[in-house]
Amino acid sequence: MSKAKTPRALPDYSAMANLRMLRISPRKLNLVAGMIRGQRVDKALNTLTFSPKRIAQDVKKALMSAISNAENNHGLDIDKLYVSEAIVGKALVMKRLDIRGRSKAGRIKKPFSHLRIVVSEIGEVV
């Protein structure tokens, strides 16, 4: 006797990919995520490919993972996909010591972020 299977959190016409513990502040990551929100998948991939931001390559990997999940796990059509959600969340903050002059010290904060990308089929009720 096992536990009942947890129902799926997303609708049948959506797929998701999570990217956790990215070494960038959520504020900077949200700038890149905002570039692809609501775009078709092929246009979003082009936007990320030619973006000068360092984190754009990691976001592109997450988007490609969401596309693969949609195709292989849920049988969705790739040509009809668009980015319905790109949610950025805060993770832990590493605190480091910065030694200053005259026996003083400062604090350096190194934040981490989480990213959740949801792709959905166009033509479905959102």
Q: What is the pLDDT of residues 78-92, one digit of tens each?
A: 999 999 999 999 999
Q: What's the mean pLDDT in 35-61?
A: 97
Q: Is the pLDDT of residue 72 over 60?
A: yes
C-alpha neighbours within 13 Å on the C-beta side of residue 101? 0
Q: What's the mean pLDDT in 7-34?
A: 96
Joined together, the tokens standing for residue 65 give 């993972």
pTM (two decimals) = 0.91
Mean pLDDT of the chain: 95
How many C-beta atoms surround the C-beta of residue 114 within 10 A? 16
How many C-beta atoms surround the C-beta of residue 41 within 10 A? 21
Burial class (CB in 10 A: 0-12, 13-18, 19+), 55: buried
Q: What is the pLDDT of residue 125?
A: 53
Residue 78 counted as domain residue:
yes
Q: What's the mean pLDDT in 10-25?
A: 96
Q: Is the pLDDT of residue 126 over 70?
A: no
Burial class (CB in 10 A: 0-12, 13-18, 19+), 80: middle
Residue 46 counted as domain residue:
yes
Residue 21 — left, alpha, or beta (φ > 0 → left; ψ -120 to 50 → alpha)?
A: left
Residue 85 counted as domain residue:
yes
What domain count does the chain have?
1
- CATH code: domain of residue 80: 3.90.470.10
Residue 39 counted as domain residue:
yes
Domain containing residue 32: 14-121
Q: What is the pLDDT of residue 124?
A: 53
Q: What is the pLDDT of residue 79?
A: 95
